[in-house]
Amino acid sequence: MGKMNIMWGYVILSYGLFWGLVLVLCGTASMVFHASPLTMRILSDITAWSPTFAVFILYKKLKPNTKFIDFLKNCFHGQLKISLFLISGLIMLGGTFSTVGIVSLLEGKPFKNYFSLGGYSFMVSFFLSLFSGPTGEELGWRGYLRPEMNRKYGFLKGSIIQGIVWAFWHTLLWFIDSEFLDWRIIIYILSNVIVITSIALIMNIFLEIEENLLYSIWIHFCFNLPYSFLKVGISYYAVMCIIFPILACALYFYYQKIIIKKDEEKNNSNNEIVIV
C-alpha cells in the first residue's frame, strides 16, 4: 500500500473506530444498561482515543522503518517553554471568553449567566476533559497525521485539510449529542468545521516552533475545559466561528513574519561570511 493510501487508510480507520465505539459502546450503555451520566462521560472519553488506537493498530504500516519508541520520542522532543504554554493557553481561553463576552453584550445578559458548574465538581470536570480528546487524540492527529499532510500538501494547505478531517470526525456527535436538531444545526456544523480547522492551524504553528505534542495537548485542553461549564445557545457558535478564524489568521501572519525575518537574518549572515 502506498504512503498516500496508508495515510488515508489511517483516517478511515480513525473514523470507523470512533463511530463504531460511539454507537456500540455508548449506545449499548445508554439504551440497554441505562448508564449514569458520569459513566457515559467516561465511555465518551474512551471513544476519543480512537485516533491513538488507530496508530497502534496500523503502526507497522504507518512507520515501517521507525521503532515505536523512536516515534514517541520524536513527537515529544521539542523544548518546553513557559512562554509558549502561556501564549497558546491565552489564545484558546481568550477566544472562548471573548466569544461569551460578545454574546453577553448582544443578548443583554450578565457574563456569569453563561457558566454553570454542572453535575460534577471542578476537579472531576478537569480530569474528564484532560483524559478525553487532549490526551486521546493528539498522538494520532498531530503526532502522525500532521507531518504526513505537511509533507504532502505543505504547511498551510496541510493544516486546513487536517482541520477538516478532524472536524468531520465529530460528525456523529453533531446529531446525537447536540440540542440543535432544527435549522440551527446548520450554524452549529459550520461553526464546528470553521473553529476546529482554525484550532488545527493554531496547534500546528506552535508545533512548528517546538515539536512537542504537549503543546497541542495543552491547547486542546484549554479549548475543551470551558465546555464543561458553558451554558450557551446557537448565538455562541455563530460568534465563535468569527473569533477563532481571526485568531488563527493573526497568529499565522505573525508566524510568517517571524519566518521571513529569520530568513533575512540567515541571508545577511551568509553574505557577511562571503565578504570576509
**Cell 450554524, residue located:** 187
Write down the pLDDT at residue 198.
98
Average pLDDT over residues 238-250: 97
Instruction: Work out the percent of the chain whose per-residue pLDDT is above 90.
Output: 87
For residue 274, is pLDDT > 50?
Answer: no
Write down the pLDDT at residue 4.
65
Confidence of residue 264 (pLDDT cuts 50, 70, 90): low
Write down the pLDDT at residue 258.
85
DSSP letter assigned to residue 229: T
Spatial distance between the Cα atoms of 59 and 91, rounded to a whole number of angstroms:
33
SS3 205: helix
Spatial distance between the Cα atoms of 225 and 164, rounded to a whole number of angstroms:
22
Average pLDDT over residues 238-249: 98
Cβ neighbours of 139 (radius 10 Å): 24
Go through the chain and tell me how many residues it has.
276
Write down the pLDDT at residue 180.
92
Q: Can you give the residue ranges of every domain in the chain? A: 79-266
Write down the pLDDT at residue 48.
97
Average pLDDT over residues 74-94: 97
Instruction: Work out the percent of the chain whose per-residue pLDDT is above 70.
Output: 93
Residues 196 and 165: beta-carbon distance below 8 Å: no
Write down the pLDDT at residue 1.
54
Q: What is the overall mean pLDDT for the chain? A: 93
Residues 146 and 207: beta-carbon distance below 8 Å: yes
Write down the pLDDT at residue 3.
61
Spatial distance between the Cα atoms of 90 and 88, rounded to a whole number of angstroms:
5
Write down the pLDDT at residue 276.
46
**DSSP character string of 96-128:** HHHHHHHHHHHHT--GGGGB--TTS-HHHHHHH
Average pLDDT over residues 225-241: 95
